[in-house]
Homo-oligomer: A and B are copies of this chain.
Amino acid sequence: MKDIDVLIEALPYIKKFHDKKILIKYGGHAMVDDEAKSSTARDTVLLKYVGMKPLIVHGGGPEISRSMDKLGKEPKFIKGLRVTDEETMEIIEMVLVGKISTEIVSELIKHDGEAISLSGKDSSLIFAHKKGASKIDEEIVDLGLVGEVDCVNTDLLEMFIENDYIPVISPVGIDEDGNSLNLNADTAAGEVASAIDAEKLIILTDVPGVLRDPNDPDSLIQKIRISEVPKLIEDGVISGGMIPKIETCVKAIENGVKSCHIIDGRKKHSLLLEIFTTDGIGTMIFE
């Protein structure tokens, strides 16, 4: 009988986030196995049913690498950075749009969530331009078909949200000539979250959040004000791949998103625990 109290405890959060848009960045590294995928899908559908408006922007790095392997396509790197040539872009698009998105949609539908997969190309959902060559370590480097987001077609997303569909978005952009561009999934998620005035941006990844000591999961920092970020980077607490994630969060908050969350998407019900409990389970970034 006590269990039902959890519902009552969740009520303040359900009220607070009622009708609010929650942008879930579903990272490729969080898609560890079928059970995790099913669990994330079920949690997302629950958010929908208790009155929120979830949207998903997914990644897919590991799966893309596997597919390139299979196709015998050698990845090219310049100064440690992957170069996206035309053939690579074609594979990326096939994997993101034709495989990962459709799989996520399948999982959501299994749990009775009306989901629709969208590429950033659909009706120019994510309009972008080629990043162009940039200087890295004193060298001019062109990473190929990599895009920077110019704008997001929110009309299209609003249509889906108003009609109770869950949009599942691949981080592929389209330029003014109709070409596909490879987008960083975190960045794309941040841009979409900002454009649609999301309440939250939740990044599901494969670490517990920002750790003071990377080897000690108990050193999790639960809350970071955006004003504290520069110092944390300087001190090396935020480092490596976490830096662009945090920067995406800072930018999203500056653009009006109320809070950003970095959580371990592999952990069961991490999404619900982050939203429906006071402390959450990961790191929250806020103003």
Q: A residues bordering B, Cβ < 8 Å?
A: 1, 3-11, 14-15, 18, 42-43, 45-46, 49-51, 70-71, 90, 93-99, 101-102, 105-107, 109-110, 112, 114-119, 121-124, 156, 159, 163, 165, 172, 174, 177-180, 268-269, 272-273, 276-277
Assuming A71-B70, A116-B118, is B123 touching A272 (CB within 8 A)? no
A159, closest chain B residue (CB) = B163
The contact sample of 24 A-B pairs, CB cut-off 8 A, is: A3-B3, A4-B269, A4-B272, A7-B46, A7-B272, A8-B269, A11-B42, A11-B45, A15-B112, A49-B50, A93-B102, A94-B95, A97-B98, A98-B98, A106-B121, A106-B180, A109-B123, A114-B123, A116-B123, A116-B156, A117-B121, A123-B165, A159-B159, A159-B163
A271, closest chain B residue (CB) = B4
Assuming A46-B14, A99-B93, is B119 touching A119 (CB within 8 A)? no
Contact B49 A276 (CB under 8 A): no
Per CB-CB distance, the 10 closest pairs between chain A and chain B, nearest first, are: A98-B98, A94-B98, A97-B98, A106-B178, A6-B6, A110-B178, A94-B94, A116-B122, A3-B6, A114-B123
**Further 7 A-B residue pairs, CB within 8 A, beyond A11-B45, A94-B94, A117-B121:** A4-B6, A95-B98, A105-B122, A109-B123, A109-B178, A115-B123, A123-B165
Chain B residues whose C-beta falls within 8 Å of the C-beta of A156 in the assembled complex = 116, 165
Contact A46 B118 (CB under 8 A): no
Contact A7 B97 (CB under 8 A): no
Chain B residues whose C-beta falls within 8 Å of the C-beta of A177 in the assembled complex = 110
- Contact among B71, B102, B121 with A97 in the assembled complex (CB-CB below 8 Å): B102
Contact A102 B180 (CB under 8 A): yes
Contact B117 A122 (CB under 8 A): yes
Q: In whole angstroms, how far apart are the Cα atoms of A129 and B124 in the complex?
A: 33
Q: In whole angstroms, how far apart are the Cα atoms of A14 and B70 in the complex?
A: 43
Chain B residues whose C-beta falls within 8 Å of the C-beta of A18 in the assembled complex = 49
Q: In whole angstroms, how far apart are the Cα atoms of A107 and B90 in the complex?
A: 15
Chain B residues whose C-beta falls within 8 Å of the C-beta of A97 in the assembled complex = 97-98, 101-102, 117
* CB of A270, distance to nearest CB on chain B (Å): 10
* CB of A268, distance to nearest CB on chain B (Å): 8
A124, closest chain B residue (CB) = B109
Contact A50 B174 (CB under 8 A): no
Q: In whole angstroms, how far apart are the Cα atoms of A269 and B101 in the complex?
A: 34
* CB of A109, distance to nearest CB on chain B (Å): 5
